[in-house]
Amino acid sequence: MSLIFYNTLSRQKEEFSPINKSKVKMYTCGPTVYNYAHIGNLRAYVFADVLRKTLEYSGFAVLQIMNITDIGHLSSDRDSGEDKMTKGLEREGKKLTLENMREMAEFYTKKFKEDLEKLNIEMPSGMYFASDYIAEDIKLIKKLEKKGYTYKISDGIYFDISKDKNYGELRGKKTNTDDALSRLEKNVEKKNPEDFALWKFSDSIGFPSPWGNGFPGWHIECSAMSIKFLGEQFDIHTGGIDHIFVHHTNEIAQSECATGKRPFVRYWLHNEFVDIAGAKMAKSDDNFFKLNTLVEKNIEPIAYRFWLLMANYRTKMNFNWEALEGAEIALKRLYNLYIELHIKKGKVNKEYQTKFKEYLGDDLDTPRALSLLWDLIKDENISGADKKATILDFDKVLSLGFKNLKEEKIPSKIIKLSEERELARKNKDFQKSDDLRAKINSLGYEVKDSSEGYKINKI
Ligand code: AMP
Ligand code: ZN
């Protein structure tokens, strides 16, 4: 199965080829756990899940690592403003201690994992708290320090971007004239406006380091943890598009400068945003919907996954309740059509499977994969049993929950009688066929014939 992905680094679609054919190594930037994840955040994880499952579907083993940011993420991605975890503790009226920070992180991580489960997202192979890997951060910063990439100012240790000739490659080397840059908060002590913190000093709470008490910068955790678990160079890195300009740009700079190896990551894949009423959904603004908001409105969370799959991950989506309700109705229709299919075991239809692979292999074209699913379920030339097997095969990637749908368990005696009746019918022994039908009815079941074969229902 050939796989083509849009690589942010090269700004084009590229054929995927991993460093080591036997295992794809993939890193997914995890959530900052100072609040519930909003449904926009969850798009990043549905996307990473479809990507991982597509890789697995095409025969690769995948090692997927995700960090949980429980320290060091300031309200501006550029190392200014309030610490998000501190803000979370303030909001909840809790004292600012490392223990309370951890407790809050564990609470929101548990909620995050529940959300992943509700969306049929497979847990990453490893999911780790950033605060458990401070030693790895320090080791990496020391390496950078030794190579002359760092300098100290009053509030921390910074990375000097002018020392990295490849800085900004991921975002296309935009320079200071950029809008975003002109809005940068000024820190007069910094050598370059875009220099970023590797370690931030803190008098009140923090972790010990060779430079003083404090916290690692937000970007360093992803470099340190991905290098620890995946190596100095690996295959895929995912995240939302907001991470391209600062977080991932800085991750690349510090990783490549520390290890001296390029490229740090071969394929950078980014999901577009889910907007609400044309505006960005933001955890920090408290203007967001959680997955539980859907549950409160009696909408099954899995309908949200289905709605997301209706667009390519690189297309911006505008969330509204009508669209989601429409998606839920469509999904229920698919469920019903599926449940009505023949109970016998069938075979995966190869023609449909080839198309499914082709669509997913084309930069995860889930909208086309879904329309193929509709075509399949309506295709009168394919037996119900084969349709069922093919849908279950597709669902290894789509994960819409077909295999867990409750089916009426038909007693084996009824199945045996139905098969006898089918044989009698084929042999044109209509008397016998009618007698068997009557017997089945007397046992509380009915057999219906259709172009796809027979179906058994409880009366
Ligand atoms: P955070 O918890 O803020 O670090 O974000 C977790 C993930 O969600 C990151 O990959 C972000 O890029 C992504 N993200 C944040 N907001 C949205 C949104 N509105 N739509 C899609 N992805 C988002
Ligand atoms: Zn990250």
Tens digits of residue pLDDT in 121-154: 999 999 999 999 999 999 999 999 999 999 999 9
Q: Return the axis-axis angle of helices 249-259 and 218-230, rounded to nearest 10°.
A: 50
Q: Which amino acid is at 196?
A: F
Mutate to test the pocket of ligand 1, among 75, 238, 241, 242 (most ligand atoms within 8 A of CB): 242
Backbone angles phi, psi at 305, to 5 degrees: -60, -45
Dig out the tokens for 174 from the structure: 């935009």
Q: What is the mean pLDDT of the chain?
A: 91
The single residue listed with the structure tokens 């490549």 is 256
**CATH placement of domain 321-404:** 1.20.120.1910
Number of Cβ atoms within 10 Å of the Cβ of 74: 20
Ligand in nearest proximity to the CA of 84: 1
How many residues make up the chain in this entry?
Answer: 459
Q: Give the 3-state secondary structure of residue 347.
A: coil
Helices (H), 317-451: 321-339, 350-361, 366-378, 384-398, 412-426, 430-442
Nearest atom within ligand 1 for CA of residue 272: 21
Q: What confidence tier does 447 reach under pLDDT thresholds 50, 70, 90?
A: confident
Does 178 score more than 80 pLDDT? Answer: no
> What is the model's pTM?
0.88
Does 82 score more than 80 pLDDT? Answer: no
- Is the distance from CB of 114 to CB of 126 less than 8 angstroms? no
CA–CA gap between residue 103 and residue 85 (Å, rounded): 11
Q: How far is the CA of 1 from the centre of ligand 2 (A)?
A: 30
**Distance from CA of residue 393 to its chain's centroid?**
20
Q: What is the pLDDT of residues 255-299, one digit of tens each?
A: 999 999 999 999 999 999 999 877 777 766 666 899 999 999 999
Average pLDDT over residues 30-34: 94
Ligand in nearest proximity to the CA of 40: 1
CA–CA gap between residue 370 and residue 356 (Å, rounded): 9
C-alpha closest to that of 348 among 154, 57, 24: 57
What's the pLDDT at 445? 84
Nearest atom within ligand 1 for CA of residue 242: 12
Q: What is the DSSP letter of 123?
A: P
Helices (H), 81-217: 84-91, 98-118, 134-146, 179-182
| Contact residues for 339 (Cβ-Cβ < 8 A; gap 6+) | 405, 407
Q: What share of the chain is helix, strand, coil (3-state, %, to 5)?
A: 45, 20, 35
Q: Is 44 in the pocket of ligand 1 (CB under 6 A)?
A: yes
Q: What confidence tier does 75 reach under pLDDT thresholds 50, 70, 90?
A: low
Q: Among the CATH numbers 3.40.50.80, 3.30.70.3270, 3.40.50.2300, 3.40.50.620, which is that of 14-271?
A: 3.40.50.620
Indicate the domain borders of the chain: 14-271, 321-404, 412-458
Q: Give the 3-state secondary structure of residue 118.
A: helix
Q: What is the pLDDT of residues 308-335, one digit of tens each?
A: 999 999 999 999 999 999 999 999 999 9
Q: What confidence tier does 174 reach under pLDDT thresholds 50, 70, 90?
A: low
Number of Cβ atoms within 10 Å of the Cβ of 189: 13
